[in-house]
Structures are given as structure tokens and as C-alpha cells.
Structure 1
């Protein structure tokens, strides 16, 4: 089994992520009635966070110097606006943006979006500089081919002939999807995506490799495996990153989609991994 982490993990590592993912995943399989089926040695974390780790800041690498002024290009502002709208939809304490607000006008509007998000339940404990850093990681992967190749290679290298399950979180679900598409004939039986932004048209879906086919409104993404692959997508009710909860419109009716209660830390990977539905998706592939 291979786990693929999401954004904001640049100061983590394979060992640290495994130490948090494995107990949570074990709880999920226990909820699904398969306690003891797996051991920690059965799981590997495909780590790519260091690709985004800033150079020359070895003594304070976690202190990213980003401000609202650094949300500079159209992609980052449109994604920030999408997060803001999603947060307002799920949290009555968040003042919604104007219907046509893409934050493309002034840094002040960007500052307003960041301020609104910082007061939401979802982003309550996330510093402004980290929100901006997360925006830049998503943009970098989807628009910089060198970064994309480097990150995706980490995942394709981790997926071997004996890999049967891939569990991918957040941006990692985009990486895992593209990695599986780039590995024809792989033996993965279950792809479990959690907190995934794959369904966000224009910003994410339309930028996938391979490119979705068909007219823009009805485009379909390539199926990332053979007929034996079972794809399960889990989205938290309040997870702003998993903006589109149902991926069937973009990838076909074969995807099993579910909405979960992931608590106050709606996007946290471990909140997904402990759920019974996540455990079932994993053990079904190994039965």
C-alpha cells in the first residue's frame, strides 16, 4: 500500500507521515472489521514535500515570509476565491464574497479573502503565510512541468508490482491520479482519494495530464487503471479543498463517492483514514 500526502508537508518526511497515517488507517480498517489484516511494513509513504521546501532557510524553514502581496497570479487568486466561497457555504460565520469576485482587482481584496478565511472553522489555526504557501504549491504543480515531473516521479517510483492500494490526500490525489495514468498495466486494485480537489473545473480538472476528453462542460477524465480498479472518493462535509464532492460527473459513474463527517479539522488526512468507509475501500482490495 502506498500513501500520497497533500499540500503543506514540506517540513515533514516519510517517517513522520507514516507515524501518523498508519495508526489512523489501522483504526479505519478496525472499524471496517479487519483488525490485524495489515502491518506498518505493508505501507510506504510516497514523499514529495521537500520539492517545495524553500532553499536557503535551513534555520527557519517553517517561517514562510508570505503575505497577501504574494498572491500574485490569476490562478492563485481564483483558487483563493473558490476556497472563500466554499468556506462561506459551509460556515455561517464567514461573510461570502461577491458572486463575481475573482480577487483579480487589488491586493486589498486578496487581504479581505485571507482575513475572511482565517475566521472560518476550516482555516482557523492556519497562519496567513501558510495559506499563501498552499496556494503556491497547487499552482506550482499544475503549471510548472519540472516540478510536476519531479513530484510525480516520486509516486510512480513508489508504486511497484506488489502495490495493491493507493491512498491519496488533497493535492496528492491529483499526483496519484496522474501517476497511475502514466503507469499502464499497473496492478493497483484500489485508489482511495480523500479530501481531493480533482473535480474543480478550470483550475484543476481541466489541467490534468492526460487531458480530459470531450466538450468542456461534459469532459471526462481518463480512467486511471484497468477494469479491476475500484476508485473510492471520500469528501468531508466541511472540507473546503474538496470543493467538488462528487467526482462522477468528471470521471464516470464507476467512482464510488461518499461525503463524511471529518470534524473541525475537516481536511486532515487522519480524520479520513479513521473512517469505516476508508477502511472498507482498502480491505476490499486486499480480500
Structure 2
């Protein structure tokens, strides 16, 4: 079975395990190679795929994604996460105007303003508005729809067996991977690597199951959290204060693709964390 289990983030509903593996495996090997570690074979790497849980059912005469607008951003969690992303983007980029007192009022105009501001940021510039709103909804659905949550977590946990030494989670996938590890007592994973993780955002952290802050393994587990300074999704870069001082927190520079999985994986420090797990007895 897989020695490395990789768990993707949001926006992958039109992809699949094999499609993602074609991108993840070479990037993962590049990072390990930079670190001078042992390369796993492609057969030893598995993708924990859950994106189809967010895919609309096919029906006649419809194509692509739902055409979300600002009006589709729901009050509560979705709006709060959107505003958190906006504040984070404004701190990371001087070109993004920060939200003011007037825009923090709970009105449809405030949501529209936030989406417009984010569309002008380096981080979100490649996302259409409907894709950005879709990402918000995927995070909310995972955390608040028990069927989606259990289905995603079960798929990942099913890949983690006695041969698995490393689990890598990107973006929302780090949340899924964290909960899957917590739900797999006695697992033999030796390296947990989180990339661009939102685990430290209070509105996500407090909803973790079985409870916030649990160490996701035994005493032999090494957890490395890797975040780009400009990664808006990884709003909280240092997870140690809310989880455990044992976490190794690393800040990297992914260039213009701050949140993409590939530059995270090709980073030498990421490769070293993965190689360390593969070397572990």
C-alpha cells in the first residue's frame, strides 16, 4: 500500500486521483531530491481524493460550475471567512485596500466589495468570482455537512495503513488529513506535512473534530507546517500556539503562486520533512 498519502485542497471537483497524482508526484519527488532524500516510486504514493463530493450531479443541458455571485455568499461562516481572506490579502499586498469600518457591516454591498478587492489581489487574480465563492462553500460544507465530512475523512483514512509513513495535506486537505489521522489511533505515520493550511484560523480550528488541538499521532510523529508569507488561506502561519510546540513551522517563498500545491511540494524544506518520514523506522 501507499507509503505517502497526499490530500488535495479545494477546487478539485472536476479532477480525480490519477489526474492529481500526475501533478503531485513529480513535484513531490523534486522537493525530496532537493533535500537529498530517498525517492518513493509512483506506486508508493496515493492521493486521498474527495473533490467529487462537491461536484454537481450531471443533468441535461448544463455545463461546468454554478454561476455564483456575491448574493450567493451566505451569512455566517462564508461571509466571515471571506472577510478574513480580505484582511489577510490586504496585509500581504499593499495594492489591496484593507476593509474599512463601512465594509465590515453585514450587507450584500460589503460582500461585493470584498470579492472585488480580492479579485484585484495577486493571490486571487486567477480566480473567477464564481470559483472564489465555490471555494468558500466547499470549506463550509466540509465543516458543517456531516455526510461530506465523514465521506472525505473516511476516504483518506482508508488509505492510511501499516505501510504509510507520510501524510501530506494541502489547503483544506490539511484539515481532512488532520482529522483522518486523529480518527486512526495507532497509525504508524511518522511525518505529517501541512502545506498552505487554514488549520489555525479560529473559525476552522474551533470546529475541528474530535476536538481542537489534539496531537494527530503518537510521540514519534513529526509535524511540519509549511506556509508562504503571502498565502492568504494559510492566514495563521505558526500553528504552535494553538496546537503544540512540537510542530516545526516553516515559512517559504512560492513566488506569484503562493497557495499552489506544486511550489510547496518542490520546496527543499518540504522535501526534507517528507524524506524524514520515509527514513523513519
Per the shorter chain, which TM-score range? over 0.9
Report which stretch shifted further, 126-135 or 156-165: 156-165
Residue 209 (str. 1) matches residue 195 (str. 2): no
CA 1:121/1:231 → structure 2, altered by over 3 Å: closer, same or farther?
same
What is aligned with 1:186?
187
| Residue deviations 1:148-171 (CA, integer Å, cap 9, x gap) | 111111111111111100010000
What is aligned with 2:108?
107
Distance (Å, rounded) in 2 between the aligned partners of 1:130 and 1:51: 16
What is aligned with 1:196?
197
> 1:83-232 residue pairs with structure 2 within 5 A?
83-98=85-100, 102=104, 105-201=106-202, 203-212=203-212, 221-232=213-224
CA 1:57/1:94 → structure 2, altered by over 3 Å: closer, same or farther?
farther
Distance (Å, rounded) in 2 between the aligned partners of 1:284 and 1:101: 46
| Residue deviations 1:168-227 (CA, integer Å, cap 9, x gap) | 0000000000000000000100000000000001x1000000223xxxxxxxx0100000
CA RMSD of aligned residues (A): 1.4
CA 1:15/1:61 → structure 2, altered by over 3 Å: closer, same or farther?
farther
Deviation at 1:106, TM superposition (A): 1.4
Structure 1's unaligned 5+ residue stretches are 213-220
Report which stretch shifted further, 56-65 or 24-33: 56-65
Structure 2's unaligned 5+ residue stretches are none
What is aligned with 2:36?
33
- How many aligned positions are there? 276
Deviation at 1:111, TM superposition (A): 0.7
Match of 2:7 among 4, 7, 20: 4
Report which stretch shifted further, 153-162 or 224-233: 153-162
CA 1:97/1:252 → structure 2, altered by over 3 Å: closer, same or farther?
same
Deviation at 1:86, TM superposition (A): 0.4
Deviation at 1:58, TM superposition (A): 7.4
8 Å contact kept, 1:81–1:101: no
Deviation at 1:102, TM superposition (A): 4.5
8 Å contact kept, 2:21–2:46: yes
